Structure 1
């Protein structure tokens, strides 16, 4: 059994061919797709976060809205760029959204990916400390966030407060019990995957990874996951970790599917991103029988307990619900995912 979710980048465009022509369209359709996915039996609704772009950005209003409209489905991010975040305010936002959802948040956080502007985090008021890189700053913000989520008091109360205080040092409110164990780190390298395990975070690994051996993407990603699991075991954490991978997967079951994705002969690609040689994983699009065999050979999917299906959100809610239903009906049972 494997948990299956969707991952939406939340693009919008004024193009007449786009079903999402405004930010309002994307936000409202993101909620509607989560509702539809829950009805179909999907396990998770996850959203990308990008700043200075015509994509989903500030995640917590959306996560809270999805939480209020659904009852069962996990609600998450993949990922929140911690270089842009105030961990204290984020703790309050995350706590509120988690309580609204009844404890269903699964927050993916990370150092972040290349953004639309140069050093965009500076516009948000953040800068690396002396001797720090922006990646170091993102990990530092992440560590502070994890500590605050534990709910321990740290702030000295005012002796003459407006409202009565409980005894002792004060914590941030609202506190969401259990959320600390539902934080994931988006890792692009083996080393950061090991660090995430040491920090007691779940692991998110996407379709991009540092090319550390020249091997196929799924082989390198599977090795990364195994290194993470070994580091988790060595750290002695009391619970079992979770690991997700994301893939673009399309079962071609009708003429519309073939029109959109039937010419997809995707293979792994090599590129340079943030001065790092990276390998980008292939997409999967084929008739169900052939698709099943291709996915069966993906070593990283086999290692993960959660698979996030990246969806073409600009094609609208109905089509994306069809994409999800096709995977659940024609692919997942044959692979033992359902």
Structure 2
């Protein structure tokens, strides 16, 4: 059994073929898509976060709005770049969004990926400490975020406050019980997957990872997941870990599907560089008639290791078409793989 969600990168552009011409289009359609996805039985609505780009950037207003209009679907990110974040302010934003949704937030965070501008986090007022890399800064901010999500008091109260204080040290409000256990780490390497397990975070593994062996993408990703699970068990956490993998999967069930995605039918993994010195492997897209798609996906080792599949969607094609894409997977593919 698998949970099946969608992952939207939230693009927009004033392009004649796009249904999302503006930021407002993307935000409002994201809400409508999550509502419609819940109605057809999709388990999760997840959104990528990118700064300095015509894509979704500030997730919490969107997550809160979706939380207010839905009742069951998990709502999350994949991922928030912690290099850009104030961890304490983020605790407050996340707590509010989680309470509005009734405890359905599943937040994916990470140290981040290459961005649109050089060291964009500096424009947000952040810079690594002495001897600290930007990746270490992101991980250190993540640890601050996790610590403050526990809801324990840490700040000395003012003896002359505007409003009466409860006794003892003060915590950040609003406090969302259980949210600390619903934080995921987007890991691009085996080492950071192990680190995430040691620190009690669920694992998000994307459609790319650092190339650490030259093996096919799904094999490397499966090895990463197994290392994560071993580290989780060794750490002695008293709850079950969750693992999601992202995939571009399109069931070709009509002429429009074949026109839009048929050319991806015989795709393959690609190797390249996402940073000057970091070689990565990029997983292929899956596009085929449902019977063929079931055969191909059955051989994806990483999918077998994961409990959650996040389907990357072409959000620029609009709500109706994306619901068709998701419904096709639920109806024609998931049963044949025992995902449902």
The corresponding residue for 1:90 is: 90
Cα distance between partner residues in 1 of 2:119 and 2:80: 16
Residue 124 of structure 1 aligns to a residue whose secondary structure is: coil
The corresponding residue for 1:270 is: 271
Say yes or no: does 1:329 pair with 2:331: yes
Corresponding residue to 1:287 among 274, 280, 289:
289
Aligned ranges 1:179-328 → 2 under 5 Å: 179-264=179-264, 265-274=266-275, 275-328=277-330
Render the CA deviation track for 1:126-174: whole Å, top value 9, x for unaligned. 0000000000000000000000000000000011111111110000000
Render the CA deviation track for 1:214-236: whole Å, top value 9, x for unaligned. 00000000000000000000000
Cα distance between partner residues in 2 of 1:263 and 1:50: 28
Query: How many residues of Structure 1 are paired with residues of Structure 2 in the alignment?
Result: 338
Cα distance between partner residues in 2 of 1:2 and 1:219: 19
Render the CA deviation track for 1:227-258: whole Å, top value 9, x for unaligned. 00000000000000000000000000000000
Cα distance between partner residues in 1 of 2:165 and 2:302: 50
Aligned ranges 1:15-34 → 2 under 5 Å: 15-34=15-34
Between stretches 175-184 and 259-268, larger displacement belongs to 259-268
Cα distance between partner residues in 2 of 1:70 and 1:114: 33
- CA displacement at 1:108 relative to structure 2: 0.1
- CA displacement at 1:273 relative to structure 2: 1.0
The corresponding residue for 1:13 is: 13
Name the Cα RMSD after superposition. 0.4
Cα distance between partner residues in 2 of 1:27 and 1:300: 31
Cα distance between partner residues in 2 of 1:267 and 1:19: 29
Cα distance between partner residues in 2 of 1:3 and 1:166: 41
The corresponding residue for 1:65 is: 65
Cα distance between partner residues in 2 of 1:129 and 1:45: 35
Cα distance between partner residues in 2 of 1:304 and 1:73: 19
Cα distance between partner residues in 1 of 2:159 and 2:261: 65
Structure 2 unaligned blocks of 5 or more:
none
Moved over 2 A (4+): none
Cα distance between partner residues in 1 of 2:113 and 2:178: 27
- CA displacement at 1:263 relative to structure 2: 1.4
Structure 1 unaligned blocks of 5 or more:
none
- CA displacement at 1:322 relative to structure 2: 0.1
Cα distance between partner residues in 2 of 1:185 and 1:266: 28
- CA displacement at 1:266 relative to structure 2: 1.4
Render the CA deviation track for 1:261-291: whole Å, top value 9, x for unaligned. 1111211000011220000000000000000
